[in-house]
Amino acid sequence: MRDRLPALEGVAYLNAGTNGPMPEDALQAMEAELADQGRRPRIGMAAIERWIALRGRVRSAAASVVAAPPEEIALTSSTSQGIGLICAGLAWQDGDEVVTTTEEHPGLAGPVHELGVRFGVRVRSVDAGDVADAIGPATRLVAISHVLWTTGRVMPLPEIAAAAHAVGALLLVDGAQSAGNIAVDAAASGADCYAFSGQKWLLGPQGSGALWVSPRALDRVAPGTPWYLTYSEGQVGTYQQDACRLDAGTIDPVTLTGLAAAIEFVDGLPGGRPGWVERAAMNSERARARIEQVEGARVVDPGGPGSGLIAVELARGEPTDATAALAEQGVLVRYIPKTPYLRVSVGAWTDDEDIERFCAALAGFLAASG
């Protein structure tokens, strides 16, 4: 499996929370698609049918990641775009309120902030443990991450969904750090809308993503960026019957091909995606235990099962400096702005040598910072 992830060569690849290592399968599929675009006409019925079929293939692949049927998936270019589509598509009224957390990525915090700027919506940002209690009669949307990008905390979505639905609010979930990292069943989570990225834990190319929309929420969300395929047979005013009406427009077929191939790469391995997620959780557990042995490093454990995101607090030195120092040694992690944390992403591809390399580099940095 590692041999089919060429970006792992020569480095400890511990930052899939930003961009994951693309499989050779995806690279080859994208190269073939690009060559094909240059050698065959991109016009005519055959080309259109091939394009539509590709979109269907990607929709099915993305749906499998969140245990949903393809008709409940819209294609996007990112998690942020999916979140923006929902925020832009809801009918906001005076007095409406959004509940979110103080630990959200700008990809969620930004669209939510704009609701306050444009529509006067009240935005309540609360501690991650207080979300359910903050929901009240004025709440129209709860917008939170499934896995927080800061610490890897896994949020209790069913509990939060129950509180949101009790007042008629929707639950919008940022799945950028969950889809491909932990097991996801969007419908069972209680979410109404679940946006996720292709380029992170799903190992796809930049500019890829998807948005799951529950059938119960679909008619509450107007298309934020309507285009030709928003409408049935191109008839403006007559929406498609399923979530494809929310598709974010034309996405390069090369990108779509890469995302489908990356997802199918994992699904085709022994054990499929369930085995992939299980292996990642085991690797993460071993990594946490080993990192705790490094003097001057503390693993932040916010709770939640199986997340491959590990926040590490340093007793000495700055996380920004540590990130740069480790990169010079081929150890690829990142820091989280406005926190004291290094963030380590552990996936199914991570082996003990990667973790030992990280721990040795971190120990050297801490010693030099003392």
pLDDT tens, position by position, 71-126? 999 999 999 999 999 999 999 999 999 999 999 999 999 999 999 999 999 999 99
Last residue of a domain, which of 246, 267, 288?
A: 267
User: Could you tell me the residue range of the domain that residue 210 belongs to?
Assistant: 25-267
Residue 187's pLDDT band, with cuts at 50, 70 and 90, is very high
Shared domain for 214 and 294, answered yes or no, is no
Residues 6 or more apart from 211 whose CB is under 8 A from it? 73, 74, 75, 76, 81, 82, 85, 86, 193, 194, 195, 196, 243, 246
Shared domain for 12 and 39, answered yes or no, is no
What is the pLDDT at residue 111? 97
Shared domain for 245 and 309, answered yes or no, is no
Secondary structure percentages of the chain, helix, strand, coil, to 5:
45, 15, 40
Return d(Cα 151, Cα 304) in angstroms, integer. Answer: 11
Contact 195, 179 (CB under 8 A): no
DSSP assignment of 51-92: HHHHHHHHHHHHHHHTT--GGGEEEES-HHHHHHHHHHHS--
What is the pLDDT at residue 306? 72
For range 203-212, the mean pLDDT: 98
Give pLDDT tens digits for 155-168.
999 999 999 999 99
Q: Is the pLDDT of residue 304 over 60?
A: no
pTM equals: 0.96
What total number of domains does the chain contain?
2
Beta bridge partner(s), residue 76:
209
Last residue of a domain, which of 267, 297, 323?
A: 267
Give pLDDT tens digits for 72-81.
999 999 999 9
Q: What is the number of alpha carbons within 13 Å of residue 368 lying toward its C-beta?
A: 11
What is the pLDDT at residue 303? 63
Give pLDDT tens digits for 309-348.
999 999 999 999 999 999 999 999 999 998 999 999 999 9
Residues 6 or more apart from 76 whose CB is under 8 A from it? 82, 85, 195, 209, 210, 211, 247, 248, 251
Shared domain for 7 and 124, answered yes or no, is no
End-to-end CA distance of the chain: 39
The 10 Å Cβ neighbour count of residue 168 is: 9
Residues above pLDDT 70, as percent of the chain? 99
Shared domain for 323 and 202, answered yes or no, is no
Taking the CA atoms of 31, 32, 33 and 34 in sequence, report the sign of the dihedral they define.
positive
What is the pLDDT at residue 370? 77
Give pLDDT tens digits for 235-262.
999 999 999 999 999 999 999 999 999 9
